Every structure is written in structure tokens, then in C-alpha cells.
Amino acid sequence: MSDRQSSLCGKFHPTASKAVLVCASVLIIGMATANAGPREQAKRIHDRLAGVPPSNSVLDDMAAAIATNPTSGLYDAATMAMENPEFYNVTLKNWVTPWTNEEQSVFAPLNDYTATVIGMVRDGVPFNTLLSADILYVGTDPRLPAYSMDDNRHYEVMEELDINLKDDLEYKNQSEITTLPPEATSGVLTTRAAARAFFVDGTNRAMFRFTMLNHLCNDLEQVKDPTRSSDRIRQDVSRSPGGDSRLFFNNCASCHTGMDPLAQAYAYYDYDYPEGDMEGGRIVYTANAVQPKYLINSTVFKDGYVTPDDHWDNYWRKGQNSLLGWDDSLPGSGSGAKSMGEELANSEAFAQCQAKKVFRAVCLRVPGDAADRAQVTAMTDNFKASNYNLKGVFADAAVYCAGE
């Protein structure tokens, strides 16, 4: 019985016998309105996951599963709903696309980042390898142009041909079909689409910022910590912006102290494009050679840090950002994007962020009240306990939000 029911009962019906009677009827009415039948529940679960109504035969199967076992049957029904190709072609595509461009727009073509996430979900690839694995999903249809490092045609044609992503995606090693050596691969971060969006121009801090935003659900503003050492802040950051060194310590340093030693992991990457043709570029990796973008504007603060290699350190393991829940079994430092991707993707914040994003996509709202937040915690725990199988998170959310 909920608190509200019991307090209402207590208030209006002080004598025990009446209270029991009235409360009982409140409960029954509550159950009658909240308790949809198996077919109703099946329909809602299907709609939440696939965005379309089920066929009659799928609806029958789902409803039968629910009727047979009101608890585990709901999960079985969710699993059936995820067999619908629309779960991959529409629900997952729309879920992932905003992570793959700076504008966070859902209106962008399929690309190698999106397809790789969709493939990983389909195959139950442990999702905590998202930012580190040597992985890339490509289409199998013979009509497709081959995967190219220089354009996105392979994936755009997949959409033009309305390829079924559930059946026609296959796992590859990134290092097999690109020029990246295996040790330079870093999951979706070294896909062409991510490089186009976040290694383009700038100082590669954008890759770090958007990875934090998209996969740890924290923008830099939320992880500001002015108490870390500023010894790794690059030369391009003024130590007295507008002539005011306090601004550096109170503001600039609070992001750059933690970010710069982590973003150093990307020191050998760039996105090279022909003059005037940003879409026509490709990811480049220069082993043991720091990209010039790490050394620009060196006269802004000559005593700033000069990046010698791709060694990274996580200063946020101490201080307030220890709350992001770093994995104690990892060292907290290393060289290159791959080990830094492992550092990020094995944090509690990463697991919780995936659960929150799934909740939003399936329940069509942000987790609000205490019950929603407890649900996100449960989804996060199940996610980790299942070796980071994301399909289970979608099933958990669909069951929770499909009504009792």
C-alpha cells in the first residue's frame, strides 16, 4: 500500500474496522485501473521499444508470455519486441545519432559510430568496451559501396536502400578496414564520424568534452574542480585572462586542470580534410608524434605545459570528482585513447549515464521522482551485473514504463 493510501485511510476512517474496509476498496479500484491486461501491456511494451504496434501474432505471443508469468513474462515480451527491426532502424538509430555530431542533432544520416553502437547492442557486446574496443560494424549487402575512410557513403546508401540493420550489420575490427593499428583503436571514439565531429580543427579537447557529456552525462561545467594541480594545462590557456589571474584560478583552471591531462590521450589524432571540404576528410593517427594542434598558441603562456606524448593522468580520481565512481582495479593513468576510454567506460557515471539515456528514450521523460531514480539505480546495477548487456537495460525500462 502506498503512503498516500494509508494516510488517507487513517485520516478519514479512524476506527480500525472501517479503515480496513475502505482501504481495501481503494486498493481494489487502484489495481483495476492501473492493472492493464496482458494484451494491453504487450502493446505498450512493443510500442515503447519498437515505436510501432506489434503484428497480431507477435502480440499473441507477447500476451501469452505475460499471462503465463506476470513477472518474467514481461521481460520475455520485451525481448520479443526487440526482435522487431524498427528497434534497430529507428529506436536505436535515434538514440545514438545525437552523440555523433556537435549540434547533438537527431537528424543526421547513419554513420559508422551509430552503426557500431547498434551492432554492439544487437550482439550483446559488453558496452563498457564502447570507448576502447577494436570494433566497427559495416553492412553486408552486396549493393553497398565498400567502407571508406574518406566518406560516409557506405552508411548513407544503407539508409537509401532501407537496409535492415538487425540482419545486415557485421562485426569487423577497425584495424582491419582502416589504417589505424590495433593499439590506436578506441571504440566509437576512433570512428570516422566521431573524428569528423570532434577531432576536427580545435585542440582535441572537444573529443573529451563530448565524451564526458554523451557517455558520463556530465558537461564540463558540472565537473569543475579548482583544487587540482594546474601543472598539465597547455600553453594556449592564458593564466591571466583579461589581465586577471584570479579568473584563471577560479574559472579556467577548474576545467582545464582535469581535462588537459586526460585529453592528452588523444595527442596523436587529427581529422585531416581537403581545403574547403570538411566532409571529405579522414582520421589520422601519428604514432609517437604529437599533433601540432597540441602545441598551438604557445606564446599565450610560455611556462604552460608542452605536450611531449600521449600519456594521460586522471586527476579527478581525487577530490569531488571521485564521485564519478572510478574503477579501483584500473591504474588511473596510461598512454593513448584506448586505456583512457577504459578509464571512462568503467566508471559508475558511465553505467548510470547509459541507464538514464535508455530511461529517457523508452519512458519519453527524464527520471523524475524517487521511484524513477530508484529504477535508474536498479537498471544500472543490472547492466553491470549482466556484463554490460544494454538490451537488458532497454527491457527493464520498457517493463517499468509500460504501466503496471
Using CB under 6 A, which residues numbered 381 to 400 contact ligand HEC? none
- We find the least distance from the C-beta atom of residue 187 to ligand HEC, in angstroms, to be 20
Nearer to ligand HEC, 190 or 380 (CB): 190
What is the secondary structure of 87-110 as a DSSP string? IIIIIIHHHHGGGGSTT--S-S--
Do residues 157 and 143 make contact, with C-beta atoms less than 8 angstroms apart? yes
Do residues 197 and 335 make contact, with C-beta atoms less than 8 angstroms apart? no
Nearer to ligand HEC, 19 or 220 (CB): 220
Q: Which of 22, 220, 330, 361 is the binder for ligand HEC (CB under 6 A)?
A: 220
Q: Is 154 in the site for ligand HEC (CB under 6 A)?
A: no
Nearer to ligand HEC, 149 or 247 (CB): 247
Q: Is 236 in the site for ligand HEC (CB under 6 A)?
A: yes
Q: Which of 3, 103, 221, 328 is the binder for ligand HEC (CB under 6 A)?
A: 221
181's grid cell:
593499428
What is the secondary structure of 9-53 as a DSSP string? HHHH--SHHHHHHHHHHHHHHHHHHH---HHHHHHHHHHHHHSSP
- We find the least distance from the C-beta atom of residue 3 to ligand HEC, in angstroms, to be 41
- We find the least distance from the C-beta atom of residue 100 to ligand HEC, in angstroms, to be 15
User: How many CB atoms within 10 Å of residue 264?
Assistant: 25
83's grid cell:
526482435
285's grid cell:
593517427
Q: Is 202 in the site for ligand HEC (CB under 6 A)?
A: yes
- We find the least distance from the C-beta atom of residue 247 to ligand HEC, in angstroms, to be 6
Q: Which of 98, 126, 241, 325 is the binder for ligand HEC (CB under 6 A)?
A: 241
Q: Is 251 in the site for ligand HEC (CB under 6 A)?
A: yes
* Stretch binding ligand HEC (CB under 6 A), from 172-180, 182-190, 245-253, 344-352: 245-253
Nearer to ligand HEC, 62 or 233 (CB): 233
Rounded CA gap, 211 and 222, in Å? 14
Q: Is 26 in the site for ligand HEC (CB under 6 A)?
A: no
- We find the least distance from the C-beta atom of residue 222 to ligand HEC, in angstroms, to be 9
Hey, CA dihedral for 125, 126, 131, 134, is it positive or negative? negative
- We find the least distance from the C-beta atom of residue 399 to ligand HEC, in angstroms, to be 37
- We find the least distance from the C-beta atom of residue 152 to ligand HEC, in angstroms, to be 22
* Stretch binding ligand HEC (CB under 6 A), from 79-87, 198-206, 323-331, 382-390: 198-206
- We find the least distance from the C-beta atom of residue 298 to ligand HEC, in angstroms, to be 11
Rounded CA gap, 376 and 373, in Å? 5
Rounded CA gap, 188 and 119, in Å? 12
Q: Which of 262, 103, 289, 127 is nearest to 198 (CA)?
A: 103
Q: Which of 96, 120, 188, 237 is the binder for ligand HEC (CB under 6 A)?
A: 237
Q: Is 203 in the site for ligand HEC (CB under 6 A)?
A: yes
Q: Is 226 in the site for ligand HEC (CB under 6 A)?
A: no
Q: Is 247 in the site for ligand HEC (CB under 6 A)?
A: yes
Q: Which segments of 35-131 does DSSP mark as H helices, in order?
A: 38-50, 56-68, 72-81, 85-86, 93-96, 112-123
300's grid cell:
599565450
Do residues 83 and 65 make contact, with C-beta atoms less than 8 angstroms apart? no
Do residues 138 and 181 make contact, with C-beta atoms less than 8 angstroms apart? no
3-class state of residue 234 by DSSP: strand
Q: Which of 195, 198, 191, 227 is nearest to 212 (CA)?
A: 198
376's grid cell:
535508474
Q: Is 218 in the site for ligand HEC (CB under 6 A)?
A: no
Positions touching ligand HEC (CB under 6 A) are: 202-203, 205-206, 209, 220-221, 224, 236-238, 241, 247, 251-252, 254-256
